[in-house]
Amino acid sequence: MIERRVDLEKRKRVAEMSPEEMRRALLTSQKTGLPNRRAFDEAEASPWVAMSDVNGLKEVNDKYGYSAGDVLIARFAEVLAGAGLDAYHNQGDEFFVRGQSYRELNEKLSEVQRILREQPFAVEGLDGRIATMPGANFCFGIGTTLEEAERSLKHQKELRKTAT
């Protein structure tokens, strides 16, 4: 019989995991180290939730390569966690954040925006050279449900487009 599994080393590591390690692996984003969408769905409900995504990720990927985009996503995750937010990496450049109040989420996410914009970070470009990104930005929407937060996020993106 021909072995269909390509990554035998990874399969071996998974087979050797304890149940706690396997659960942690299933609930954690490999790209950011934050809890993932599954962890968000399994977590206790919160009164407020925010949805956010990074502005200009496609341009970063096009100009510097996907590894630079991954650095930007990881940087965003670090700043979210550093602000004490209950943040989750959904997919790509999309993140969810849980909070106890609209005010708390708005204040902390606004602070994350300031930090992300003002702190440059290094990425490796397509040519192998190290480039310094001057900072980054993101949009966010807040609601009592993910659907409300998504509508709010779309509205914020529309406002951003009309302002430029």
Domains in the chain (CATH in brackets) are 8-163 (3.30.70.270)
CA gap 113, 160 in Å, rounded: 14
DSSP line for 42-85:
HSPP-SEEEEEEETTHHHHHHHH-HHHHHHHHHHHHHHHHHTT-
Instruction: Give me the tens of pLDDT residue by residue for the chain, a chain 164 residues long.
Output: 555 556 677 666 666 767 777 677 788 999 999 999 999 999 999 999 999 999 999 999 999 999 999 999 999 999 999 999 999 999 999 999 999 999 999 999 999 999 999 999 999 988 999 999 999 999 999 999 999 999 999 999 888 888 76
Largest pairwise CA distance in the chain: 61
What's the pTM?
Answer: 0.84
Phi-psi sector, 84: left (phi>0), alpha (psi -120 to 50), beta:
left
